Amino acid sequence: MLFDEILETPLPYLAGPQAVADATTLLEKHGDDACFEAAIRAERYRDQGNAVQFCHWRQIERLIVLLASPDVTGTVH
């Protein structure tokens, strides 16, 4: 993913530590395909009509993009 695309992607909302745990688990298990796995899970929940889990996995997808990027995004304090 290009740096410009990262800046265009909305920053994820982290509802709690489970979001980070899910993202790191997918990164460990699927490596470069972790983002695709999160997208697949989001689509599955969307198809089931489970909006809460759909939103959760979409946020995980965004978080994985940020975690996998070598660039700093957002404000640096």
Summarised one tens digit per residue, pLDDT across range 17-65 is 999 999 999 999 999 999 999 999 999 999 999 999 999 999 999 999 8
Does the residue 59 lie in any domain? yes
Position 77 pLDDT exceeds 80: no
Does the residue 77 lie in any domain? no
- Total count of domains within the chain: 1
Does the residue 5 lie in any domain? no
Domain span at residue 46?
Answer: 15-68
Does the residue 7 lie in any domain? no
Please, which contacts does 22-28 make with residues 24 or more away whose CB atoms are closer than 8 Å? Answer: 22/56, 22/57, 22/60, 23/60, 23/63, 23/64, 23/67, 24/67, 26/60, 26/64, 27/64, 27/67, 27/68
Does the residue 42 lie in any domain? yes
Does the residue 10 lie in any domain? no
